[in-house]
């Protein structure tokens, strides 16, 4: 595939060499550990479990689900890049938006799992982002584990309903009044949820 993209041979060989080093490190990190029951590349659509919020059909693909036991599962999404060790607030504007997007994605996953009859037996759900590039200083892999709260899932339901309503009526709100920083992104979400736009 990379040949079709028109990369020069030197860029191609350098990229493949770096990729091999990273994959070898990731392999060493993941293999040889004790795991619970694993389900890889789980697709809610093809798994035969219809996930509906009201009449809205939802789907998602999960990189890894680990059934740990004692009513616990860990839902893992692999990410490229060096990543973070926490999704807390930061001063950097772009990093704040990136972390918000990750939290939004994990909350959507939590919504899927909360609506899935297949996973009702697992009330404790950990949501993990695993970054596949090692930290430049420590050489360690970074990961974030979050527990999505019920109020976040309920808010996501309201947001999905609001967005779907706009799609169905082709009523796409103007965004020119919202600047591209996290405060205004959150304000836009709230305006959607509350029906102000």
Q: How far apart are CA 119 and CA 134, in angstroms?
A: 32
CA distance linking residue 156 with residue 141, whole number of Å: 30
Q: What whole-number percentage of the chain has pLDDT above 90? A: 59
On the question of pLDDT at 2 being above 70, the answer is no
**61 band by pLDDT with thresholds 50, 70 and 90:** very high
Q: What is the DSSP letter of 140?
A: P
d(CA 53, CA 111) in angstroms, rounded, equals 9
Q: How far apart are CA 130 and CA 78, in angstroms?
A: 5
Q: Which whole number is the average pLDDT over 14-18?
A: 85
- Name the residue among 182, 188, 184, 185 with its Cα closest to residue 89: 182
Q: What is the CB neighbour count within 10 angstroms for residue 15?
A: 12
State yes or no: pLDDT of 82 exceeds 60.
Answer: yes
| pLDDT at residue 1 greater than cutoff 60 | no
Strand partners, 76: 64, 128
- pLDDT of 22 > 70? The answer is yes
Task: Indicate the pLDDT class of residue 42, thresholds 50, 70 and 90.
Answer: very high
pLDDT band at 187 (very low <50, low <70, confident <90, very high): very high
Other beta carbons within 10 angstroms of residue 118's beta carbon come to 13
């Amino acid at each position: 595939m990379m040949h079709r993209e028109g990369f020069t041979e030197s860029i191609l060989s350098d990229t493949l060499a770096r990729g091999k080093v990273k994959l070898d490190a990731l392999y060493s990190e993941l293999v040889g550990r004790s795991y619970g029951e694993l389900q890889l590349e789980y697709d809610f659509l093809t798994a035969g479990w219809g996930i509906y919020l009201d009449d809205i059909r939802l789907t998602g693909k999960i990189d890894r689900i680990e059934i740990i036991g004692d009513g616990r599962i860990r839902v893992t999404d692999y990410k490229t890049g060096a990543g973070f060790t926490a999704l807390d607030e930061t001063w950097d504007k772009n990093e704040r938006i990136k972390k918000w997007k990750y939290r939004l994605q994990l909350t959507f996953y939590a919504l899927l799992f909360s609506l899935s009859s297949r996973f009702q037996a697992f009330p404790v759900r950990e949501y993990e982002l695993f970054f596949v590039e090692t930290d430049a200083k420590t050489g360690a892999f970074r990961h974030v584990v979050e527990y999505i709260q019920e109020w976040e899932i309920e808010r996501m339901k309201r947001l999905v309903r609001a967005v779907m309503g706009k799609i169905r009526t082709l009523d796409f709100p103007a965004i020119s009044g919202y600047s591209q920083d996290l405060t205004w992104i959150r304000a836009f979400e709230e305006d959607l949820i509350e029906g102000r736009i």
